[in-house]
Amino acid sequence: EAKTAFSNGAVFFEEFLTDARHIEVQIVADGQGEVVHLFERDCSVQLRNQKVVEVAPSRMHPGLRQRITDCAVRLIANCDYRGVGTVEFMVAGELSDPDARFVFMEVNPRVQVEHTITEEVTGVDIVKTQLKIAAGYPMAELGLPGGEGKAAATLRGFAIQCRVSLAPGGGPEVSAYREPVGEGIRVDGALYEGCKPSMHYDPLVG
């Protein structure tokens, strides 16, 4: 199956963890030896293995946060990585436990859908940061606000993202569309009155 799908028959075995939390760390690397992080997101609320609700930062013990962000930064620093991305982990046990065990899952070398909540709690424009890195800017010229240790910012509250998706297979023409408004509300949407969602793309629309 792996050979058919990916032209590579290698298979990786992953440890099965019960009652685990899906935690991902937002990282920034300039490709010139500097790597920092923008804290973590809790992406444990999922439907059919797809994230539907994300929280930044997670309700995590500071000691565990230090361990998991340090691990993410060290991993990326040893990969000659350039750009923004996320390092994803499964955490066994309670996030309130500073000694909770966690295991590495994967690195997503791109801007993720849920990057917006990290932007809200750090004040960092992650897309702009990615473009500056692609243009060759070193870490010192990215305009990151700075924080303690390898953190590139300080936390300023919490943010929650809720994804809105259509049923797979597209849909009829959108006859009415209104976005919520108010203090602290951000909407990144792909719908508008008169559009007809395509069956050829991801059903995520906001």
Residues classed as catalytic: 110
SS (H, E, C) the chain: CHHHHHCCCCCCCCCCCCCEEEEEEEEEEECCCCEEEEEEEEEEEEECCEEEEEEECCCCCHHHHHHHHHHHHHHHHCCCCEEEEEEEEEEECCCCCCCCCEEEEEEECCCCCCHHHHHHHHCCCHHHHHHHHHCCCCHHHCCCCCCCCCECCCCCCCEEEECCECCCCCCCCCCCCCCCCCCCCCCCCCCCCCCCCCCCCCCECC
Nearest to 89, CA basis, from 115, 114, 108: 108
- Residue located via tokens 């293995």: 49
Query: Which residues lie closer than 8 Å to 4 by C-beta, 6 or more apart?
Result: none
